[in-house]
């Protein structure tokens, strides 16, 4: 009998080994001529970026204010994250594919780049475009293509790269840039404000229900590059939009920095639904390499009856640090945060949300599912603030953690601030459970393999969140969950 046991263990070990070594599918590098700055950061770097983009003075001034402020700041020290020191002089702040000439249509985008996005499952060429989804493709520091722009324009929807919006709609940029995440906000947001190179801009005019999902796909390619992009979405009165975001990067032994800022503005009766499937390279199974993902995402429900909903599935990155948040300023406005964060091997995630209730009858819902395997650490950090003006407001938070082994960790840090407000209600529930041997065995006894059993239990655990994703995204997210959890139980 013991002989058989050993055989079985051996077999399991082999299976896990095979799975652990299953390559990060998006880890390839595109060879292409790049126009890039040398490493290093000073005021000239900031000026140079601005100059590259022919930016108006107000923007350069804003960048410089941010940069000067950043120089006075220290990188924060977080209790639950272990971070190799980042040398900001060792980072390349700008890299763009060399343009042969000014592009007038997608047909002129470089073959190599089209090919890269094809391999990532994001076809950009006219014939094969994803139906029903408009894509803005960002390659290192710049947006290389935006699909369906013209079609959207007919409805007054502006969907283009950030750089283009600076040229075509400077008044909107001037009005809204930094209005939700001020340049002084935090170390990484401030750095981003100084050196951001591109990103996505969306503007949905009054009364327009955007007929297709808008999306950005971020690709890091060049070694040592830091990707700093900004997304700005403005939904005017009674408008509504679904926005999706995906990302990947080549496999490298060094850590690479991705520090983005996302600002959402919803006016009266507007709705913004923002979904992310984050699959940056997580590092290898010893914890070498991987993306440092430090992102500031915040939305303001500025108008009455507006709604902002964040959904995220975070499976990649060596370190994820992000708290997509809602400022509920308008009366009756609604904020939602649905999150699945998966960590395996040596990944670390510290994620959560902030719900700031300012308006009357505002409502927020937080559903967070953390799954940890291997030696990983997964923390939820959430703030709910009920100010004294937020009469009759409600929050419901539920934070569940699932542990897949005994070397991983899950931590929950809920912060509640209730300012002289008796009419509002905050509910918080939290659970931590280990994946049940009983559950696994039950499923195996019905014929499912161990891997399928784990996948089924994990998917069940995250169901409330996955249900929030648009259909195609949900399928993708499930696949990613399976891939990131391979070999995690044991």
**Nearest alpha carbon to residue 190 among 62, 92, 299, 96:** 62
Establish if 438 lies at the interface with other proteins (CB under 8 A).
yes
Q: Residue 351 Cβ, how far from other proteins at the closest point, in Å?
A: 20
Dihedral through CA 287, CA 76, CA 74, CA 385, nearest 10? 150
When the beta carbons of 165 and 489 are compared against other proteins, the nearer one is 489
Whether residue 209 contacts residue 153, with contact meaning beta carbons closer than 8 Å, is answered with no
**CB within 8 A of 239, min separation 6: which ones?**
204, 205, 206, 207, 208, 209, 210, 267, 270, 271
Site string for other proteins, 386-425 (x = CB under 8 A): ----------------------------------------
The CA distances from residue 363 to 163, 334, 408, in Å, are 35, 5, 34
Establish if 471 lies at the interface with other proteins (CB under 8 A).
no
| C-alpha gyration radius of the chain | 22
Whether residue 423 contacts residue 390, with contact meaning beta carbons closer than 8 Å, is answered with no
When the beta carbons of 415 and 441 are compared against other proteins, the nearer one is 441
Q: Residue 1 Cβ, how far from other proteins at the closest point, in Å?
A: 5
Among 88, 456, 478, 479, binds other proteins (CB under 8 A): 456
When the beta carbons of 14 and 128 are compared against other proteins, the nearer one is 14
What is 317-337 written as a DSSP string?
Answer: -SEEEE--EEEE-STT-EEEE
Establish if 4 lies at the interface with other proteins (CB under 8 A).
yes
**Nearest alpha carbon to residue 165 among 42, 48, 53, 1:** 53
Among 10, 71, 444, 475, binds other proteins (CB under 8 A): 444
Among 261, 341, 462, 480, binds other proteins (CB under 8 A): 462
How far is residue 259's CA from residue 295's CA, in Å, rounded to a whole number?
Answer: 5
How far is residue 228's CA from residue 194's CA, in Å, rounded to a whole number?
Answer: 9
Q: Which residues in 134-163 contact other proteins (CB under 8 A)? A: none
Establish if 442 lies at the interface with other proteins (CB under 8 A).
yes
When the beta carbons of 92 and 462 are compared against other proteins, the nearer one is 462
Establish if 439 lies at the interface with other proteins (CB under 8 A).
yes
Dihedral through CA 319, CA 368, CA 333, CA 189, nearest 10? -10
Q: Residue 479 Cβ, how far from other proteins at the closest point, in Å?
A: 16
Q: Which stretch binds other proteins (CB under 8 A): 23-31, 56-64, 192-200, 450-458?
A: 450-458
Establish if 6 lies at the interface with other proteins (CB under 8 A).
no
When the beta carbons of 128 and 463 are compared against other proteins, the nearer one is 463
Q: Residue 8 Cβ, how far from other proteins at the closest point, in Å?
A: 7
- Which DSSP letter does residue 88 get? G
How far is residue 59's CA from residue 85's CA, in Å, rounded to a whole number?
Answer: 30
How far is residue 94's CA from residue 368's CA, in Å, rounded to a whole number?
Answer: 35
Q: Which residues in 186-225 contact other proteins (CB under 8 A)? A: none
Q: Which stretch binds other proteins (CB under 8 A): 195-203, 355-363, 390-398, 461-469?
A: 461-469
Size of the site for other proteins (CB under 8 A): 27
When the beta carbons of 7 and 427 are compared against other proteins, the nearer one is 7
- Which residues here bind other proteins, judged by CB under 8 A? 1, 4, 7-8, 436-439, 441-450, 452, 456-457, 459-464
């Amino acid at each position: 009998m013991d002989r058989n046991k050993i055989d079985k263990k051996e077999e399991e070990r082999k299976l896990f080994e095979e799975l652990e070594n299953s390559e990060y599918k998006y880890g390839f590098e595109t060879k292409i001529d790049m126009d890039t700055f040398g490493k290093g950061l000073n005021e000239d770097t900031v000026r140079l970026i601005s100059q590259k983009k022919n930016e108006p003075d107000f923007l350069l001034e804003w960048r410089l204010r941010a940069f000067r402020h950043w120089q006075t700041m220290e990188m924060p020290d977080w209790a639950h994250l272990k971070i190799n020191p980042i040398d900001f002089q060792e980072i390349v702040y700008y890299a763009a594919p060399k343009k042969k000439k000014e592009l007038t249509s997608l047909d002129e985008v470089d073959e190599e780049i089209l090919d890269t996005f094809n391999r990532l499952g994001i076809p950009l060429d006219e014939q094969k475009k994803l139906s029903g989804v408009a894509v803005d493709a960002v390659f290192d520091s710049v947006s290389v293509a935006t699909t369906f722009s013209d079609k959207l324009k007919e409805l007054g929807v502006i969907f283009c790269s950030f750089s283009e919006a600076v040229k075509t709609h400077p008044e909107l940029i001037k009005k809204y840039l930094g209005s939700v995440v001020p340049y002084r906000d935090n170390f990484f947001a401030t750095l981003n404000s100084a050196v951001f190179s591109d990103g996505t801009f969306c503007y949905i005019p009054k009364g327009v229900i955007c007929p297709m999902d808008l999306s950005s796909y971020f690709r890091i390619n060049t070694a040592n590059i830091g990707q700093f992009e900004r997304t700005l979405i403005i939904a005017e009165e009674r408008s509504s939009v679904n926005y999706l975001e995906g990302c990947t990067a080549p496999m490298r032994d060094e850590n690479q920095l991705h520090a983005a800022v996302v600002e959402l503005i919803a006016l009266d009766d507007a709705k913004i639904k923002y979904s992310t499937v984050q699959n940056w390279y997580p590092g290898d199974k010893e914890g070498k390499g991987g993306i440092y993902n430090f992102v500031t995402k915040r939305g303001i429900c500025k108008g009455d009856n507006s709604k902002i909903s964040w959904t995220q599935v975070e499976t990649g990155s060596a370190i994820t640090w992000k708290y997509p948040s809602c400022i509920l300023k308008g009366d009756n406005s609604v904020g939602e945060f649905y999150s699945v964060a998966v960590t395996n091997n040596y990944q670390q995630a510290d994620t959560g949300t902030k719900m700031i209730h300012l308006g009357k009858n505002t409502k927020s819902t937080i559903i967070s599912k953390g799954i940890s395997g291997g030696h990983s650490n997964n923390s939820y950090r959430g703030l709910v603030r009920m100010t004294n003006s937020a009469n009759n407001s409600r929050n419901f938070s539920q934070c569940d953690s699932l542990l897949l082994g005994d070397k991983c960790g899950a931590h929950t840090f809920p912060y509640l601030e209730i300012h002289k407000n008796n009419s509002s209600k905050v509910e918080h529930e939290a659970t931590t459970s280990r994946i049940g041997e009983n559950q696994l065995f039950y499923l195996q006894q019905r014929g499912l393999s161990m891997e399928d059993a784990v996948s089924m239990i994990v998917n069940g655990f995250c169901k409330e969140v996955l249900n929030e994703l648009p259909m195609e995204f949900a399928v993708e997210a499930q696949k990613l969950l399976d891939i990131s959890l391979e070999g995690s139980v044991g």
